[in-house]
Amino acid sequence: MKKLYCSFLLLTFLFILTACNASDEGKNPIDKEGSHATSNDNVKPSVKGVKNVDVLNTHGSIEGVERMKNFYDNLQNGISSDLRIVHYTIEGDPIVTDLNYKEDTIKVTYDSTRDKFGSGKITTVICNNLLEEVNPTNTSYIATGCSDGFFGMDEILEIEYNLARQDLFELELKYGEKLENEVNTKTEEVTKVINSKETRTTSDFQLSTQVKQEVFKRLVMANYLGDLDLKTTCQSEESRDYYLKVYINGGDREYHWSSCDQGSDGVKFTEIAEYVIMQSEMEQTENPETVIQGYILQVKDDTLLVGVDLNIFDYELLKDEIQNTELDAYVFDFISLEGVNTEEFKIGDKIEAVIKGSITGSNPGRAKVEEMKKQQPVESIVP
């Protein structure tokens, strides 16, 4: 499915969704009538009129990431598997994608018969492989070697967690037997109880951008906008409680659970909380290295134009048409890297670069390179 780069309406819609507050009952602000998202391992997504859904993509809030990952792992190990993915359209209609892997062949079936504004057809393509491409701000699953589709590829699922596209992202984490400790990036304070007589408070505390990006990624992967199954009571006497409040854009979300919660959601959120706690105890680098990753789209003199955090499918779509199109027409970020020995690189290389100083301007930004290397070619990790 080809991406619509000038997707202003979709981006506006996503902003409205993430800005919604959750109620005390923990309802998902983006749930629609007839669908109920939950991350419970034993309960699959429920979509009106569609049975046996494994993965549900509700405008970027994705439930069932583990099932997508398991299907990919099974394919890597030659284990026959099936997977059903549902993507909601902006209008709220479900489009079904069925994957069937058997004997080194992936059958991809698209069913748009429930989409009022779609083709209303069921189509099938045969592909040879499935690629998992992980970037700093997104993870994509792309079918390759297909009998149809753009460049013999089809993007099955993209999980985006680009913190830079959020207007606001702050955390308030309380933890302990009585939630007596706190890490708060909004008030820029860390409070820790040392013993019964001593409490230590640190002011002007900030998490680095890289750490915040990692926290946001983990929250997205944990489907933090979904209706989660978090438990606050258990029999263990050594457990501690957690309370997490996430401020996102114009809204917030609240979560309360115990470390003894061994359910899928509880384990994920405990790992997120412990990661934040660990980072709060470490010295945050004031001027951390800026590292960018992406595909080279143009080579000119000693300058490279790089599409930041593109996947291979995005690159193939962009590499030709970008020559005659203004960069502002796309939702992607671009950067011109200067001071590069261009003889060592070519269009289509996926690179990772450490920036010298700061990035100036936007679309494309401009920066000088301190160090740059090619990444492992995508083709070499296709099964």
Instruction: Give the per-residue pLDDT at 287.
Output: 62
How many whole angstroms separate alpha carbon 173 and alpha carbon 155?
A: 36
The residues near 222 (Cβ < 8 Å, ≥ 6 apart) are 39, 228, 265, 268, 269, 272
The residues near 382 (Cβ < 8 Å, ≥ 6 apart) are 129, 131, 144
Q: What are phi and psi of 19, to 5 degrees?
A: -80, -10
How do 303-308 and 154-160 pair as beta strands?
A: unpaired
149: left (phi over 0), alpha (psi -120 to 50) or beta: left
Tokens encoding 226 = 């979904």
The residues near 379 (Cβ < 8 Å, ≥ 6 apart) are none
How many whole angstroms separate alpha carbon 328 and alpha carbon 5?
A: 10
Beta-carbon count within 10 A of 332 CB: 18
Q: What is the dihedral of CA 55, 59, 60, 66, to 10 degrees?
A: -10
**184-200 burial: b if 16+ Cβ within 10 Å, else e:** bbeeeebbbeeeeeeee
- pTM value? 0.83
Instruction: Give the per-residue pLDDT at 11.
Output: 38
Instruction: Give the per-residue pLDDT at 234.
Output: 79
How many whole angstroms separate alpha carbon 96 and alpha carbon 130?
A: 18
How many whole angstroms separate alpha carbon 29 and alpha carbon 253?
A: 10
Instruction: Give the per-residue pLDDT at 377.
Output: 67
Per-residue pLDDT for the chain (383 aa), expressed as one digit of tens each?
Answer: 434 333 333 433 443 444 433 333 333 333 333 333 334 556 788 898 899 999 999 988 899 999 999 999 999 999 999 999 999 988 889 999 999 999 999 999 999 999 888 778 899 999 999 999 999 999 999 999 999 888 999 999 999 999 999 999 999 999 999 999 999 999 999 999 988 888 999 999 999 889 999 999 999 999 999 889 999 887 777 789 999 999 999 999 999 999 999 999 999 999 999 999 999 998 766 567 889 999 999 998 889 999 999 999 999 999 998 988 889 889 899 999 998 888 899 999 999 999 998 899 988 999 999 999 998 766 544 44
The yes-or-no answer to whether 165-280 and 290-381 have a common fold is no
Superfamily of domain 290-381: Nucleic acid-binding proteins (2.40.50.140)
3-state secondary structure of 318: helix
Helices (H), 59-140: 65-76
Fold classification of 165-280 is Mago nashi protein (3.30.1560)
Geometric angle at alpha carbon 12, from 110 and 361, rounded to 5° = 110
Tokens encoding 336 = 């011109």
Instruction: Give the per-residue pLDDT at 18.
Output: 40
Chain position carrying tokens 């002007």: 204
Instruction: Give the per-residue pLDDT at 383.
Output: 41
Give the domain ranges of the chain.
Answer: 31-160, 165-280, 290-381
Instruction: Give the per-residue pLDDT at 119.
Output: 79
The residues near 38 (Cβ < 8 Å, ≥ 6 apart) are 45, 63, 226, 227, 228, 229
